Amino acid sequence: MESLISASVIICESVLAEKTTELISAIRIHNVVNVPIQATFAHFFVLTYLHAQAADVKHHTLQVQLGRWEDEKWVPYAAAQPRTFVYGRKVDPTAPGAFILTTEFNLDLRPMPAALGTFLVHASLDGESCAWAPLTLRRR
């Protein structure tokens, strides 16, 4: 992670990826997801956005998961498959590299605490924490 310049996690309702421009839009950014009383799943997307120094051309692995600290121990409730990538440099090979990962969560609420609550969406790069964002799940 020595070449990492920035890392961000955005939680949203949906993601728009334009085919012609390859631009990505986060639609309805969330920090709270209201879950219907009888629902057994919660659906949302996570955009993880990384920038690295221009000289970084190595393969890296990024993983996104949702969990929280309980009794001083990290408890993961959902995890996406790790994604291997190389930073992109389409605009200028001397500019910082970038990588955007879109992760869709269909979160099974049945094994989670009945009251739900606040969790962390956590991104790890090559096995080390690089970004996180809180997400509160509440019944409505």
Q: With 0-12 CB in 10 A as exposed, 13-18 as middle and 19+ as buried, what is 83?
A: middle
What's the confidence (pLDDT) of residue 91? 73
Secondary structure of 88-117 as H, E, C letters? ECCCCCCCCEEEEEEEEEEEECCCCCCCCE
What's the confidence (pLDDT) of residue 120? 97
**Is residue 55 scored above 90 in pLDDT?**
no
Residue whose C-alpha is closest to residue 11's, from 41, 37, 68, 49: 49
Using 50, 70 and 90 to split pLDDT, how confident is the model at 73?
very high
What is the architecture of the domain spanning 4-139? Sandwich (2.60)
Query: What whole-number percentage of the chain has pLDDT above 90?
Result: 84
Distances (CA, A) of 96 to 5, 52, 55, 91, 138: 8, 5, 8, 10, 39
Average pLDDT of the chain to the nearest whole number: 94
CB 40 within 8 A of CB 109: yes
What's the confidence (pLDDT) of residue 1? 75
